[in-house]
A = this chain, B = another copy of it.
Amino acid sequence: MPDKKPSDPSDLMTIRETCEAFEVTPRTLRFYEQKELLFPIRRGTRRLFTRRDRARLKLILRGKRFGFSLEDIRQLLNMYDRDPGQQEAQLLRTYEVALERLSTMERQRDELNEAIGELKVQIALGAEHLAELRRSAG
């Protein structure tokens, strides 16, 4: 074999090709299909992922990086599917959801920072305690 087969008669990709392209497992793709996040076409029993599936997958993975749940993502994606025409309203909705998520993430970060501060204090106290122990009975 000279190199990877493009296997691109009309831009369809097998499950394995898609997995390699996006670094996910077959299980993940099947799972996403089951959750109605992807809709690969079937040739016989085999799944074939279209350009559209791949575009969706890209958005799914991006959404996951931002901490959206798959259910959140599904709702957003399917909104764009159901009525392709409400561009502005949909974009606006996505924008709002993103802002909400952003504030959640910032709150989480702040809480994490607080906990980090507290933990540092405890660590400092521990260090002191340790030094004391060594002074009194090294």
Contact = CB atoms under 8 A, between A and B. Distances in A.
A123 B102 contact: yes
A92 B130 CA distance: 7
Say how many copies of this protein the assembly contains.
2
A102 to B, nearest CB: 5
A35 interface: no
B127 A95 contact: yes
Contacts of A92: 130
Contacts of A109: 109, 112-113, 116
Contacts of A134: 88
Nearest to A65: B115
| A-B CB proximity, top 8 nearest | A95-B126, A109-B112, A88-B133, A66-B119, A98-B123, A105-B116, A91-B130, A102-B119
A106 interface: yes
B130 A95 contact: yes
